[in-house]
Every structure is written in structure tokens, then in C-alpha cells.
Amino acid sequence: MDDTNQRYFNRELSWLEFNQRVLDEARDLSNPVLERVKFLAITASNLDEFFMVRVGGLQMLAETGSSKTDPTGLGPQQQLDAIRARTRQMVADQYACLAELEELLSDLGIRRLTSRTLSDSQRAVLERNHTDDIVSVHAPLAADIDAMPHLQGGTVYVCVRLRGSSGDSSADESEGGSRFAVIPLSTNLPRLLVLPSDKGHEYLTLEDAIAMLADRFFPRDQILDCAAFRITRNADMSVREDSAEDLMSGMREILLERHWSDCVRLEVAASASPEVRAFLSQALDVEAAKIYDIPGPLHLTAWMSLTSLHGYESAKAEPWPPQESPLLGSTEDPFQVLAQQSVLLCHPYESFEPVVRLLERAAVDPDVLAIKQTLYRTSKDSPIIKALARAAENGKNVTALVELKARFDEQRNIDWARRLESAGVHVIHGVKGLKTHAKICIIVRREDYGVQRYVHFGTGNYNEATARLYGDISYLTSDEDLGADAIAFFNAISGYSEPLPFRRIEAAPLGLRDKLLELIDIEIQRKQEGMNASITAKFNSLVDPELTDALYAASQAGVEVKLNIRGICCLRPGVPGLSENIHVVSIVDRFLEHARIIHFHHGGDDLVFISSADWMQRNLDKRIELLTPIDDLESRRRLIEILETYFRDNVKAHVLMADGTYRRVRDLAENRGRNQTMFRSQWELWKKAVQAKATDDQARHTRFEPHQGPDDAP
């Protein structure tokens, strides 16, 4: 296949197909109903970010008249047209799914009320108990085509069309005898307003409550129409990085600029009148292509709150709590354990707590001299941030690289940076022009035989909250070479210098891409020499054309390539003469697949790596990333086993076909009608973590059980 346009899938459309797979989980009848609601809410949140970033960037290119094409040959406007067509179908699917879920929720006693379904007593409660709150908190804003108030992206608004009372000469009415006002929904009141009910949990959306009480905002006007709407603004901004202080102030400017950036999407309730629709289109200067009719309540992300309701446990997924690590249990001294062996943790099946505890222990350990750590995304009340601050207050040399450009976490990271600085932590913000995405923590400790370095390499963020929801890998080690490399890596990014060649790790944007290409080429050479050769990898996205072409070359040489790619995949598998030896699967299940694991057969001398980087140009060329070899036998064996577990999945796995569609493994022709044993990878990984903990508990019990001698026999 020589036609370049047929070698790749468009990245934006591939991402939309990922979101469709998430939506398919919301439509999957085998999932508990509140689990399905969770997936539906996630699709809405995902789509918001997609429009803010990807559509926002394409829109800017299109408006400049750019003719730059992607690897499939599509220009910006062509991509926008394709995105909008696909998104409209997705929105229709979302709300068809919502309608189905609301029927099932109603059977459970969880019901969304409307003005028509409120009982008389509920209407009385709304007017008696909520009118003052709603009318006092919300402020209507007069709106005109030529004088529209500034509207924030992501906020739900109610547009009200009014007609002034007769004789009201003060009313500024437009042609046709009506005028408009908009009411922004407050985040200080619940979006889903609970009303008393003897039938379960019944709620009214805040926008419906406002519409019902509109006459309280405008007591002398006739209410002609009320309709909810919402705009999405472009968040694809760049920042100057002339200095650290410029970066900090620049990020603040970016956060402010997002409030005023161009509209990339206008969502309007499908029930809106033509007059309301025409007014919003003109006043916001939004063309028809950017307007989306929403056949139900807007901003379905808010429905996530239903998944935490108490008393509906049978409608939720069975809990899979993280298990304590057999090697780094709560009673273990982490330094003593890691001095003897490296430890691999598979989250969220194994708890992230040992990583947190290692830092908390380091903060108060008198023998710890220094801590160096990168921070990309952290939790709201981060114990890791607290540990770093405590360590600095205890006189340890603490350096934290806080990435201010972590999109949508900028304000939180600015706040954390200031707090760490006030505690005495040396805070840096990375290398100019690059985003630091590597996940690494180094603890330097004085021991009897000299200074020892303990290192944590991760595929996920230092966020104990998301570590319960994301599938990631942690590798903790005192390996001498990895420790030396870790120090060299951190000193290079903190001192803006180019390191000497690393002993074993690789880093982007220096040598990571070349290392991957070299390893792929070695597999090709081995195959050409008549040896077994294979590449098995797991990551979130494959977009980079150079690495894609290298995998095509491997396939053409006969190398077996198995890829587990959660999200975007621009590689086209299964094409004769191009990629018939490449198999791509995607798994969407209750935990977000986030780990990056790579296994090269390497002539039987298995090479296994974990990484912070996806195979995208941004990760390999514009970010600071790490590729870490896992050489100790037990950890390497576990990672290979974890990879193979994913490829055995026949419950939640989808296979990417040559035409770009995804098919569930269980629906493939060769599997249809077969009496297969169900194999769900995430369940299997959790079950193994439970079994490992149980085995360890039993071993401990046996080890400390009093010995029975002959005299003790019954």
C-alpha cells in the first residue's frame, strides 16, 4: 500500500472512536446501572476537553486559512467537518442511552422530575424551601445582540425570552416585542436539586427549577421562553517561557485568557424556540456548524453525583479495593526492603500507599539527606506535597519540579508551588519550551556503607486519589545504575544542562525515540536471521508516523506485533503487505488503562520497559519523558504476565479492524457461538493481587505460629 492517505487513521476521529468505546460501556447491559451512568458522565467530560483542546486548535488553524494537512491528507477544515458530523451522532447516542438509563433508574426509585411530573407537595416544597435560595443566589443578566454579557465556558445558562407588561416603558424590547436575559447556574447550589419523596430519590435539575421560578426574577414581565444553553471555549493556548517568573505570570494570563477565548461549541436545549436559538447565534456570533441541539439536560458530567448515592449498592459495581503489597506492607520498613530487592506495584490492584509512605518516612528519617521529585498532577489535599514540605522543614534538601503547564491543573500547581516554596522546598518549573511529564522521585539516604539512592519510577501521577482509578505501574528500586541515571536526569532538568549518556534509562526528547527505533530494528534483524521476534506493548496512544512506519516495517519482516492501545491509534492493522502481523486491542473497563509497558523478545533475552511516554510526537519531541528498563527477574516476569493478561481479555477488549472500526473480541466471527470461558483482564489482575495478599498473610501466620512439639500433641 503506497497511498500515504491509507496508511494512517486520523487522530481526532480515532479519539472519538475511543470515546465511543467508553459510551459503549454505558450501553452495555451487563454493567450495573449506576456503573453505566458513570461511563455516560465520563463521555460528556471527555468530549468537553476534546472540544476545548483539539477542536479549539483546529479552529484556530482553519481561521488562519492554513492548508497544513495531517498524515491522512485532511486539512483543518476537513477535519472539523468530519469531527462535527461524528460528534452529532455521538450526542444522539448519548441521549438515547440516557433515556434508557433513566427508565432503569426509575425502577430503582431514582427519578428526574420535570415541571410536569412534580407532585403538588413537591411543587410546594420547591416554592417554599428553594425559591429564596435560587432567586437570591442567581442574578439575571440583561442580554442584547449588541450588548451580550461575557459568558464563561462550561457554565450552564438559562436564556429567558420576556415581554414587558403593558405600559412598562422602561423595558428595552427588541423588534417583535420581546427581550432577553441570561441566568448563569451557580456552582454553589446542587445541579441536581433533591426534593422530598416517599418513592426513593427524586431530583429536579437546577435549570428546570430556575425556569419554573422565572417569574420571581421578572415579576412584571411575561415569560415567553426558557431554554438552557452552554458554550465551550478554546483552551488551546501557549505561554511565553522567557523566565520562571514569566512562566508563572504567563500561566495566570492563560487561565484568564481561557475565559475570553473564542467559542468552539454552543450547546442548546433542543426544546429552545427558534427565537431563542436565533438570538444566541447572533449575540454569540456562532455559526450553525458550531451549534449542537441537545435532546435532554445539558452537561451530563453532573450525573456522576448519582453514582455515589447511598442505599443503591446493588446498582453499583462490586468494590475491588486496592490490596496491600506483600513486599511493602504497612509494617515493613521500606528502606530495609528496597535495600535488598526492587519492588513492582501494579495499581490500582495493589495500593499506592507504599509510595506515599516511603515519602512520609523519608520526611522524618534523620538519615535522609535529600529528596528530588517531579510533580505533574496531584490531588486536592496531597499527602505527597505535605511530606515534601515536612521534609524541607526538617532540614532536608528538597527539590520539586512542579509542571505549571499540566493542562487544566495549572491553578492547583501554581498554588502547590507557592506552598512548597514557603516551606523551604527548592521549586523549579522544568526546561524552557518542554513539558515535564516524567514521573520520578529520588530519595538520598546516608547509610553505614555510604550514600544510598532509592528511586521510584512511575507510569502515572503522584496522585493517591487517581491511583485508585487508573491502571499504572510503580517501580521502586535501590539499583545502583538506575539511581545514578536518576540523579543525572534530575540534575540535567533542574540545571538546564545536557546529561552525559545514561547507563540504562532513556529520556525524551534526547534519545527515547532513537532507542525505540533501535529496539524495533533489532527485532527486524533477528527475524531476518531466522530467529523468533516479537514486540508486545501497552500504551495510551500511537500517533507518531515514524514509529508507526517502523512497526509497519517490522510487520513486513514477519515480526509479530501485539499492541494494547487504550485511546488513539493512527496505525492501520491487518492490511496485507503492510501490517498483517500487527494486532491492536483496546480495553475500556472500570479502571482507566494508563500504564505504558513495552516488551521486546530480543532473541529470548527479554527486554522489558515501563515509560511515562505515549508514542506521540508531543511526548517524544516536546516533553521530558522517561523509558526505564526493568531488569530484575521477578519484576520483569510480572510485567510480561500483565501484558499477556490484557491480550487474553474476551470481555472488555475491542479489536481494531483494518477499516478503523472496533469490534468486541466476543463478537468476532471466530468467537461467535463458541462456549468460551470469560476472561476479564482487570478482574484477573485484581484477583491475583488478592491471592498474593492472602498467601502472604497465611505465610506470616504460619511463620509466627507457636511450634507444636511432641508434648503439645493432643
Instruction: Indicate which residues carry an active-site annotation.
Output: 437
Of 614, 562, 567, whose CA–CA distance to 586 is shortest? 567
**Contacts of residue 129, Cβ cutoff 8 Å, sequence gap at least 6:** none
Q: Are 122 and 113 in contact (CB under 8 A)?
A: yes
Distance CA 576, CA 658 (A): 10
Distance CA 540, CA 568 (A): 7
Strand partners, 296: none
Q: Which three cell numbers stand for residue 230?
A: 452552554
Q: How far is CA 93 from its chain centroid?
A: 22
**Contacts of residue 283, Cβ cutoff 8 Å, sequence gap at least 6:** 143, 144, 145, 148, 180
Cβ-in-10-Å burial (0-12, 13-18, 19+) of 361 comes to middle
Of 642, 643, 438, 674, whose CA–CA distance to 535 is shortest? 643
Dihedral angle, C-alpha 432, 434, 440, 443, nearest 10 °: -10
Distance CA 673, CA 675 (A): 6
Distance CA 374, CA 47 (A): 29
Collapsed DSSP state (helix, strand, coil) of residue 530: coil
Sheet holding 156-164, edge to edge: 141-143, 179-184, 156-164, 221-233, 263-269, 291-294
Measured in degrees and rounded to the nearest 5, phi and psi for residue 704 equal -105, 5
Collapsed DSSP state (helix, strand, coil) of residue 323: strand
Q: Are 75 and 69 in contact (CB under 8 A)?
A: yes
Q: How many CB atoms lie within 10 A of CB 700?
A: 13
Measured in degrees and rounded to the nearest 5, phi and psi for residue 371 equal -135, 135
Q: Are 312 and 34 in contact (CB under 8 A)?
A: yes
